[in-house]
Amino acid sequence: MPKTFHNPEPFRSAGRPYAMAVKAGKLIFLSGQIGVEFVDGERRVVAPGDAVRQLEVILTNLRAVLEGVGGGLADICWLQFFVTNMDDRLRMDEVRRKYFGDANQPAATLVEVRRLAMPGLVVEVNAIAVLEA
């Protein structure tokens, strides 16, 4: 099965050995997204320590990456969350409802970790999506 590798601007990480998305047939594998904004080509942590605000940015970025390969949030079947504080989970549920609704929630895994890639990050999310067409 042929695979295509996608590293759209501004999401790509210069010099990092991975793709932001890999499309294999109808499957799309999305690399972990973190709560950053892009200013003058640099990544900056959004709202350090704020899981809700970071998750909003992450899901917005996941949507943009998916749209770049012909999909959208509705195509996500599985999400994996990494959080530095499990107590943030209930507040994050409200953000998930905002982006996915109540009836179309993807399967999910939530894991607490000691730290993430940049100071101030408290959430990272990766995903698998399936395109219908």
CA distance 48 to 54: 8
Give the confidence band of 14 by pLDDT, cuts at 50, 70, 90: low
Tell me the residue range of the domain where 125 lies: 3-130
What value, to the nearest 5°, has the Cα angle with vertex 128 and ends 125 and 133? 140
Residue 109: CATH number of its domain: 3.30.1330.40
CA distance 48 to 51: 8
DSSP E strand boundaries for 1-133: 3-6, 21-24, 27-34, 36-39, 42-45, 76-83, 107-112, 123-130
> How high is the pLDDT of residue 89?
96
Mean pLDDT of 97-125: 96
Averaged pLDDT of the chain: 93
Indicate the number of domains in the chain: 1
* pLDDT 10s digits, 116-130: 999 999 999 999 999
* pLDDT 10s digits, 77-90: 999 999 999 999 99
